[in-house]
Structure 1
Amino acid sequence: MASQSQAEWPDVLDPIEVAPRSFLDAHQEAAITAMSRHAFENAPLINEVWKRAGVSPSDIKSTADFMEKAPFITKDDIREFRDRNGDPSGGMSVSIPGQTVSIGTTSGTTGDPTPVPNWRRMPSEESYSRDFWHIGARPGDHICHIMFTFRGGHRRRASMELGLCEIAFSMSPTEIPRLIEASKIYRPVTMSIFPGPLILAMEQYFEKTGDDPVDVFKSYKGAVFGGEPLGERLKNLTKSWGLEIFETTSLGDVAGASQCRMHDGFHAYEDLAFIEAVDPITAEPVADGEVGELVVTTLVDRLSPLVRYRTGDLVVIDRTPCGCGRTHAKFNLLGRATDQILVEGRSILPREIMGLVENESETRAALFQIVRTHREMDTLKLRIGYNTERLAGSPDALRGRLHDKIASEIGVPLIVELVDEQELLKLGPPHKIPRVTKS
């Protein structure tokens, strides 16, 4: 029997990705009730929080029961339990002999990192494998794996099961020549994760060497971008290289969520996680299509059974079928709820500042911070890092251009402070510096 050619393979990897909504709803309801019992019986924090709320797994007979009765947990709850009980996982790690194969951590973006036990095949591996397949990776292809850090380990069992050969790199500008050489020799079809700092460093490399980025990336069917929102400048830059970018984000430490070729939201695979949106102040349910805080429940992770986990991310959820063929929900990410400030009643998030900063030559790295003294303020204060080597005129002239552009677009009183971008880089890599600070 002749083997199936790559051209004949569908764009989705698993039939569950195109399952009818009725099937997904029934599947989630069964998984929610099972996970509720498992978490209650095995995760000390869940047991404590549910007992305090007077709820038991026997009360959860449907998705509606779950949304009405199950209490929320937050990252602060996990950290508080960890410190009080000396439990490194914060009451979320379930001890199942032979299942934990490594220990990773969360990124620590919103606080100190939290240990995360990893089992043989993590939900995030499953979601990224589906994403790679959708981008165009097929058995026998090479892909580039760029590691932010080794906090998650290098397992990628799912990629190996797909028959993909990974070429590993660290997330460092010094790796660029090796990455370019590997791209020319092995002609990979995708890379993950291609972050902003590496794109900026690669831009400088191409400017200095004259190497042709279109030739370098001609075999790539797409690249997965993560770390922070992708600004228009970098989006247009990579497009000029012939590289289609697929943004990705964390689905509340439960799995990953990435864009498809429609590029109109992050797909949340609903066989892996149940997602909700609630009002960030009242915690009341928010309808699909309205802004709310993302709440995530794992449906498959027995080692870290996060149940009704409030992520702090402001999103808009859309459960209508996608043009890519998937029936699973997708969401648009607006920013962190804790990063939102009000200036003269106008809501402001770092995402909208980024696009205004990155288009100046001296500030194209988009290194900036919102200085927040209170959640509601009379004046927006920005600290913006600039590259001293690219400064065309005086710092005052640059400050004036940035002030006029941002004030005109945002429409609120504004103070701009310029600092050498190296000072901001000391706070962490560009994809993880605190975008909102108190001082």
Structure 2
Amino acid sequence: MFTIFNEELAEVARRLRDDHRDFAAGRWDAARLEAHRVTELKSTVDYVRANSPFYGRQLADVRTADITSSTGAAWRAVPFTTKDDLRAAQHDILSRPLSKAWIFYETTGTTGAATPCPRDNVDSLANNTALTVHYDTIFRRYGDDQVIGVSGPTELHAFGDTFGDVCRNLGLAVAKMWPHSPMVGFDRAVAVLRDLGITGLFCTPGMALSLAKRLHAAGLDPRRDLRVRVLMLTGELASPELLANIGELWGARAYNALYASQEASVLGAAGEDGGLYTAPLINHYEVVDPATGEPATGTGDVTLGELVVTSLYQGAKPLVRYRTGDLVRLTRGDAGATLPADRLEVLGRTRDELVIGGRRISGYDLENLLLGHVRGYLDYQVVLDRDESGADRLSLRLEAAADEPPRVDPEIADHCRDVLGVEVSVGHDRFGSITGTGAMVSWKAARVVDNRSGADTDGETAAAASLASART
């Protein structure tokens, strides 16, 4: 509504809406998209160099006239921006003063200095328009009687405002509910789900499992006692097999709805077919070798490596060649997909990779491998040990509902031995709050207990334990 008070922003909003709708309908060809990328890459570099103290120094020697391709040598010579740069620069990274933003957010700061992430109206218009067009493909199939719950991590996070605005764009009623808030709590959140007849829920995978635990503890079954039909999950690792189990627990379709960060905003969003699609009108995507920073080599239509992004809009905090620290598989788009964009599989942070039985595996692939053989669990954790001979051993620990034990495929041991070369067992446990900290810390800190001597450790494991203790 604010745009009716500013004709210039109203025009920006209409242009973004029309461009994203045209792109989703397949009316942008490769040449038009590349021309858009090159134009906006130059605009972003010029804009941040002129307005951001950090980028004024960082990009002083970049000649935008030399940038004629989004993949050429001139672009690849532009310096990277890293998370350490953001922590050190703080407000010097911004391209607009805080007084010109409409809202202030920041990173959680659980494992390092929090960094400021204000957004102005251009930021929100660009990102929320992309989400609106993506999510329209999903919500349109659920009718006109929807009430959507939004359950985010903290008040200083974009979660609630972003999804609230997108749902308003789609004509969907919203109830914001924060189960970790002392004024709400899980019991009240469960009551809201029931009393309002919530039909869809935005939350993390960990929150979906935590709410299912609380419902079962109260003698309720989400499939029987709630109206939730769609779960829009974000903020944590979400493999297809985890999504399938959560969807079964709730009797709903579970989507990996959003890939984003406070720093870089929207990087990917779900379409109706379950794919996690890039948003190429607002971001330029590169995939690089995490060790060298050179372009990653692909196999066929798939490229594996660390994701690097550049903002294709000029708001409060555009980032240039930002190394996300996330390992991804980027798959070239195909004609039969919901949206004509490339697809992402977010495999976890590069430092979340594990070496098991001498083989390196991402958190996403490990989770998908193990959870492909079990269903009906309320939570899970992976425990790694070594036996007396020094061989790795892996245990998948599952939390079960009191009246319905998980279903375990007996072939799990053979399959995992074939893939990982280690022995795998399945057991039962109770996890408390630790497994729900992934969105605040990391997948590995929340989901993996690594008891092997010499195993890598960092401050995130301690931060997860501290956060879980506070929540308990």
TM-score, with length taken from structure 2: 0.71
Match of 2:196 in 1: 182
2:303 corresponds to 1:290? yes
CA distance in 1, matches of 2:86, 2:246: 40
Q: 1:25 aligns with which of 31, 34, 39?
A: 34
SS at match of 2:334: coil
Query: Following the alignment from structure 1 to structure 2, what is the Cα–Cα distance between the partners of residues 140 and 413?
Result: 50
Per-residue CA shift, 1:316-352, capped at 9, x if unaligned?
2223235344222222222221122334541122224
Please tell me whether the aligned partners of residues 254 and 306 of structure 1 are also in contact (alpha carbons under 8 angstroms): no
Deviation digits for residues 365-398 of structure 1 (CA, Å, limit 9, x no counterpart): 12346699xxxxx7547687665997x9xxxxxx
Q: Residue 225 of structure 1 aligns with which residue? A: 233
1:409: how far off?
Answer: 5.1
Report the Cα offset of residue 69 of structure 1: 1.9
Question: 1:71 is paired with a residue of what secondary structure?
Answer: coil
Match of 1:329 among 313, 323, 342: 342
Residue matched to 1:113 = 114
Alpha-carbon distance change, 389 to 210 in structure 1, aligned in 2, over 3 angstroms? closer
Cα distance, 1:299 vs structure 2: 0.6
Return the match for 2:270 from 259, 264, 287: 259
Which segment is superposed worse, 302-311 or 131-140? 131-140
Q: In structure 2, what residue type is equivalent to 1:318?
A: T
Query: Which residue among 237, 247, 255 is the counterpart of 1:238?
Result: 247
1:273 is the counterpart of 2:280:
no
TM superposition shift of 1:75: 0.5
Question: 2:309–2:323: 8 Å Cα contact kept in structure 1?
Answer: yes
Listed one character per residue, the Cα deviations across residues 390-415 of structure 1 (whole Å, up to 9, x for unaligned) are 7x9xxxxxxxx999679625434579
Q: What displacement does 1:313 show?
A: 1.5
Residue deviations 1:33-54 (CA, integer Å, cap 9, x gap): 1111111212222232224xx4
Separation of aligned partners in 1, 2:329 and 2:365: 16
Cα distance between partner residues in 2 of 1:362 and 1:200: 14
Q: What's the offset of the Cα at 1:195? A: 2.8
For residues 110 and 371 of structure 1, the distance between their equivalents in structure 2, rounded to whole angstroms, comes to: 26
Q: Choose the corresponding residue for 1:36, options 35, 41, 45.
A: 45
**Is the 2:286–2:307 Cα contact (8 Å) retained in structure 1?**
yes
Distance 1:37 1:416, change over 3 A: farther
CA distance in 2, matches of 1:335, 1:25: 28
Q: Percent identity?
A: 20
Are 2:201 and 1:191 aligned? yes
Residue 428 of structure 1 deviates from its aligned partner by: 6.2
Q: How many residues align?
A: 399
| Selected match of 2:138 from 135, 138, 145 | 135
Letter in 2 for 1:225: L
Alpha carbons 1:350, 1:370 under 8 Å: kept: no
- Give the CA RMSD over aligned residues: 4.0
Find the residue that maps to 1:105 and give its secondary structure.
coil
Letter paired with 1:118: R
Q: Which runs of 5+ in 1 are unaligned?
A: 1-11, 83-87, 373-377, 393-400
Letter in 2 for 1:95: R
Q: How far 1:151 moved relative to its partner? A: 2.0
2:315 pairs, out of 285, 292, 302, with 302
Can you list the C-alpha shifts for 1:9-64, whole angstroms capped at 9, x where unaligned? Answer: xxx9722323222221111111111111111212222232224xx43434434322
Listed as ranges, the matches of 1:360-371 within 5 Å are 364-368=378-382
Does the alignment pair 1:166 with 2:174? yes
Q: Deviation string for 1:145-191 (max 9, x for gaps)?
A: 222222225434444344433211114532122112212xxx64x33
Q: Which residue of 1 aligns with 2:22?
A: 15
Q: 1:4 is matched with which residue?
A: none
Asked if 1:45 is matched to 2:58, the reply is no
Structure 1: which amino acid aligns with 2:437? Answer: P
- Alpha-carbon contact 1:224-1:246 (below 8 Å) kept: yes
| Amino acid in structure 1 at the alignment position of 2:276 | F
Aligned to 2:82: 74
Q: Which moved more, 1:20-29 or 1:119-128?
A: 119-128
Query: Which moves more between the two structures, 346-355 or 291-300?
Result: 346-355
1:351 maps to 2:364: yes
Counterpart check, 1:99 vs 2:100: yes
Amino acid at match of 2:270: Q
Deviation per residue, 1:226-269 (Å, 9 max, x gap): 22214625514524644111103434523141222222x42111
> Cα deviation per residue 1:78-102 (whole Å; 9 max; x = unaligned)?
22x33xxxxx33x321225753122
Alignment partner of 1:290: what SS? strand
Contact persistence 2:271–2:277 (CA under 8 A): yes
Whether the aligned pair in 2 keeps the contact of 1:127 and 1:269 (CA below 8 Å) is yes
Give the secondary-structure state (helix, strand or coil) at the position aligned to 1:314. strand
Deviations 1:343-366 (A, max 9, x none): 454112222443566567997512
Alpha-carbon distance between aligned partners in 1 of 2:243 and 2:100, rounded to the nearest angstrom? 41
Give the structure-1-normalised TM-score.
0.76
Which position in structure 1 is the counterpart of 2:226?
Answer: 216
User: Which amino acid in 1 is paired with 2:343?
Assistant: K
5+ unaligned residues in a row in structure 2: which ranges?
A: 1-18, 181-185, 405-409, 451-455, 458-472
Q: Mean Cα displacement is larger for which, 280-289 or 294-303?
A: 280-289
**Contact 1:43-1:305 at 8 Å conserved across structures:** no
Q: Is the 8 A contact 2:149 2:202 kept in 1?
A: yes
The answer (yes or no) to whether the contact 1:357–1:364 under 8 Å persists in 2 is no
Structure 1 residues 50 and 345 mapped into 2: Cα distance closer, same or farther (>3 Å)? farther
Write the distance in 1 (CA, Å) between the matches of 2:221 and 2:429.
29
Q: Do the aligned partners of residues 168 and 316 (structure 1) sit closer, same or farther apart at CA in structure 2, a change above 3 Å counting?
A: same
